[in-house]
Amino acid sequence: MTVPKEMPEKWARAGGPPSWSRKKPSWGTEEERRARANDREYNEKFQYASNCIKTSKYNILTFLPVNLFEQFQEVANTYFLFLLILQLIPQISSLSWFTTIVPLVLVLTITAVKDATDDYFRHKSDNQVNNRQSQVLINGILQQEQWMNVCVGDIIKLENNQFVAADLLLLSSSEPHGLCYIETAELDGETNMKVRQAIPVTSELGDISKLAKFDGEVICEPPNNKLDKFSGTLYWKENKFPLSNQNMLLRGCVLRNTEWCFGLVIFAGPDTKLMQNSGRTKFKRTSIDRLMNTLVLWIFGFLVCMGVILAIGNAIWEHEVGTRFQVYLPWDEAVDSAFFSGFLSFWSYIIILNTVVPISLYVSVEVIRLGHSYFINWDKKMFCMKKRTPAEARTTTLNEELGQVEYIFSDKTGTLTQNIMVFNKCSINGRSYGDVFDVLGHKAELGERPEPVNFSFNPLADKKFLFWDPSLLEAVKMGDPHTHEFFRLLSLCHTVMSEEKNEGELYYKAQSPDEGALVTAARNFGFVFRSRTPKTITVHEMGTAITYQLLAILDFNNIRKRMSVIVRNPEGKIRLYCKGADTILLDRLHHSTQELLNTTTDHLNEYAGEGLRTLVLAYKDLDEEYYEEWAERRLQASLAQDSREDRLASIYEEVESDMMLLGATAIEDKLQQGVPETIALLTLANIKIWVLTGDKQETAVNIGYSCKMLTDDMTEVFIVTGHTVLEVREELRKAREKMMDSSRTVGNGFTCQEKLSSSKLSSVLEAVAGEYALVINGHSLAHALEADMELEFLETACACKTVICCRVTPLQKAQVVELVKKYKKAVTLAIGDGANDVSMIKTAHIGVGISGQEGIQAVLASDYSFSQFKFLQRLLLVHGRWSYLRMCKFLCYFFYKNFAFTMVHFWFGFFCGFSAQTVYDQYFITLYNIVYTSLPVLAMGVFDQDVPEQRSMEYPKLYEPGQLNLLFNKREFFICIAQGIYTSVLMFFIPYGVFAEATRDDGTQLADYQSFAVTVATSLVIVVSVQIGLDTGYWTAINHFFIWGSLAVYFAILFAMHSNGLFDMFPNQFRFVGNAQNTLAQPTVWLTIVLTTVVCIMPVVAFRFLRLNLKPDLSDTVRYTQLVRKKQKAQHRCMRRVGRTGSRRSGYAFSHQEGFGELIMSGKNMRLSSLALSSFTTRSSSSWIESLRRKKSDSASSPSGGAEKPLKG
């Protein structure tokens, strides 16, 4: 864009901007960026960041202290460090320090090694980037400099295929008009080449001597993370020139198809937009994590209570009994009273009983999650052969949450559909084209259609393009002026780049699939976009090359939802061509087009009803005088330092009025394979799916029917289209009234607040008979999301089986997700494929990105990614359900085995004078959780299954226990704790009772402390091993090896610890010499162990047997059904052997991107199986879940008493 010279104010420095003394404020508060070319001394005054980047966290000196400091930010690590300190105090420690320090150091070491490895690779990457070479103009000479030494204000030279070192203002290039071509894959994931252009005044600075004399100064916005926006001004030679994003080369881009270019460094290092966008994603925690934090606090409170009880017991015992034995059991020197003895005993028992929450719990949870993540990554059934893209778990912390999802929020375009656009139909001057009719006048279906239209008359036609209605081509050949103008608009009003590798072989590079489809359609019908320069567009119209002067591009953005071009034809006539969303464009037409508008609107509704994406086309003639005056005002607005975009928008709004309607286009975006089946399956799993789309209502509704989200069998589909708060509230109220029983009177007599105060309104609504759907427009949604109405909207929406929100903005998508998170006790999942889905993906509990046609922004922001929507069913119903099941079983067993282990100390306290004496050998205490019982529970947590994957997909009702949080909750926790305490009681008192009267083979007394300790420890290891065998539902070789191997390791270590050899070397440490051999040689001991095991395990076996027969859950019934099927098949085979021996609308507005119009005007790109969906009704298996769901719904707190109370599902 040429900027006429003007003389603003007189500057203090000749040829420069206003100059004043200004200190650069602290980082993060910079108000504007000032950079003067070739003047490092001036630029250094502002203390801008260097170009050295640092993503690493540590160095050799800081690693140990910083890493330990970070690790001890974890409450668990700090807690265990506190216990270790207590154990170092001799007066209170009855355990050796290594019982705590060994597992603590092990955990800290594993974490430190992982952190060090990650940071090593970050260091390696930083060094590789910082040491890249760049050519910098210093003192008039190009010198090789490392990237880290490049400074703001330097002029650097880039060559073809080089990475851009910093955020640069493009000054000049080897291409005409100061153009250069870049690839931005590292920034936005798009591999299409984009074009940038130097402003005309610097595009001639290709010579080094001229560049060395260049002393222009740039004043621009401070560093920010907006990749698509830049606002600044260049002051040079007493003139000022506006700068935009199209003049910038951002760090991370690669120079392509351009021999060389020069740029001025504006932002360096951490100030670059690439680094500004590398902020951390919000950390997400699962509901099980949050519950565990609560339970650990409860356990700690329980631990303190036990410590207090035993401390009181110690004080009483020392006062009543211990004083009589001072000669034999003297107090320590520091102990002077029974009370103080009890105080010390309290801390001693805190140390001994701390194993109720061992540190290995946290390590095991992370190992299990890591294993689940690898299973997702390795799943071949989620691998897309076409794109060679596997599924990827981009986080390891949310796997079990995948088994608890109740709400899915899905984008439409590119997520449910393929985002591959096909020009399908159009309306021109009131006539619709695209349908094919048979001889009887009936519309022909696709399979009944004749051959597609023959475009052989056009040597430049795209052979892949198919169109079925020959009447449109006939209209073009007959010279119909409206049809010609229609396709002329499509060939001119766009930002597509054309590349012609060989004569007649055209390749279009479009920034959105919609644009590519429209320009390709115009190409095939004889209006071939051939080439462009910054100021011209060349089109071959029916074989004749015509060059139009491109005067202006009024670019697209999400607010305007339209784009326009102003061109001058060879006859000198100026015309504006515009295309955009129908909701925007129809309001800007001239009143004389009303009749045509009515007909075209009917066609638009018809197209949208078929699920097609629509655009409206219009034009306007401009006289020369008006255009010159308008162009001058546009120039002044583009030079404005403040509110530049608002001023330009106002100028554009003025010229885009009173336009003449040409017609409309309809583009087909086909559904992805397997979408209806996936949605049907997820719906059977009681997952509610909400579609949040930018498309028009009719298009979204049609896609809803195509996906089987909406069906003709539904009781009613509510459409909310109110434009005011009162209208929206009334429509929502009527919808709720229709959903409730006729006996209920929630009607006109109630105020809004009274309705909200109904204690069971939410549960009543969600229990209504019939299936309902809600469709709401963006303008209505804006009112529905207001604070005083959001609960009414949520109540209505949650009572519906399907919710479709149309015309929503990216911010509204995130607000809808946040609303459900805020008030519903449910796990949410958001899935999308584009940059407009990022906020929704980050807001939901779980974000899923689809690697599709719109770059990889959604994937980069997601927690999980894959290439097709249909893989979502496997992610949730198989991997998610299994992860939840495994984690719940792991936690139940872990708490059980540790309470069984630890509570024995509590009972023993009543028989040892509350002296904090341990039951077990201290080495057993150390190794119990990290050797003897760690691997079996890990194997169960990683590999266990209740039913095979095929059954998980076949019976989606199996997913519901996770939604209801049935497998691990506070009730299940207390059951595990009760079982652990019960086991500990038997574990202590059965051996205690036997040993009281038992004798050895030689007649001597069997009872002694060491024999008792070995017997209890052996019983414990065997009982917990048998218990995990009962808990394991899916046996693998690894499970067998770990369970029986752990038992073997226990006995091997036990005999080694009690051997003479270790006693001889460390007599003070291994005092149980010979005890294991002597004790376990006694038949009485083995009988005691067997008795203890049977009494501990038999109630569990009996309970599970009765539950399986009297009240089986769904997985039990599925397994039983599977066994029956196998038997029937076997019988059938036997019998056989015996016998043998005897549509969619206006998606353009949300798939296009801003900025390409200005780029072109500045001279851009001118070179060149069907699943079994069985519902589960066997026996009474599903009824108990339904009753639990109703109970949960009834007990959930509804918004009674005011809008601030949350809803809970």
Active site residues: 411
Residue 165, token pair as written in the block: 């070192």
Q: How far is CA 590 from CA 299, 504, 565, in A?
A: 74, 40, 18
Cβ neighbours of 716 (radius 10 Å): 14
Cβ neighbours of 907 (radius 10 Å): 16
Sign of the four-CA dihedral 264, 268, 273, 275 = positive
3-class DSSP assignment, residue 450: coil
264 beta partners: 155, 169
φ/ψ (deg, to 5) at 1172: -80, 115
Residue 243, token pair as written in the block: 């700068």
Q: d(Cα 412, Cα 779) in Å, to the nearest integer? A: 19
Q: d(Cα 1108, Cα 1105) in Å, to the nearest integer? A: 5
Cα 895 vs. chain centroid, distance in angstroms?
A: 31
Q: d(Cα 179, Cα 168) in Å, to the nearest integer? A: 14
Is the separation of the CB atoms in 703 and 412 below 8 Å?
yes
Q: How far is CA 172 from CA 255, 265, 363, 994, in A?
A: 13, 13, 57, 95
3-class DSSP assignment, residue 769: coil
Q: d(Cα 243, Cα 303) in Å, to the nearest integer? A: 67
Is the separation of the CB atoms in 745 and 728 below 8 Å?
no
- Cβ contacts of 909 within 8 Å, gap of 6 or more: 310, 313, 349, 915, 916
3-class DSSP assignment, residue 419: strand
3-class DSSP assignment, residue 800: coil
Q: Give burial (CB, 10 Å; 0-12/13-18/19+) of 960.
A: buried
Q: How many residues does the chain have?
A: 1209
Residue 833, token pair as written in the block: 């494929």
CA dihedral 731, 734, 736, 740 (to 10 degrees): -170
Q: d(Cα 650, Cα 821) in Å, to the nearest integer? A: 38
Q: Give burial (CB, 10 Å; 0-12/13-18/19+) of 224.
A: middle
Q: How far is CA 1048 from CA 1021, 1026, 1040, in A?
A: 11, 14, 12
Query: What single string gives the DSSP state of each residue in 603-627?
Result: HHHHHHHTT-EEEEEEEEEE-HHHH
Strand order in the sheet with 33-36: 33-36, 217-220, 232-236, 239-243
Q: d(Cα 511, Cα 421) in Å, to the nearest integer? A: 13
Question: Closest Cα to residue 360, out of 897, 882, 884, 883?
Answer: 897
Q: How far is CA 1179 from CA 948, 1109, 1114, 1172, 1183, in A?
A: 21, 11, 10, 20, 9
Name residue 1142's amino acid: G
Residue 1141, token pair as written in the block: 């021996």
Cβ neighbours of 422 (radius 10 Å): 19
Cβ neighbours of 690 (radius 10 Å): 23
Q: d(Cα 336, Cα 323) in Å, to the nearest integer? A: 11
Question: Closest Cα to residue 919, out of 897, 935, 903?
Answer: 903
Q: d(Cα 1047, Cα 1140) in Å, to the nearest integer? A: 52
Pairing of strands 431-433, 417-428: antiparallel
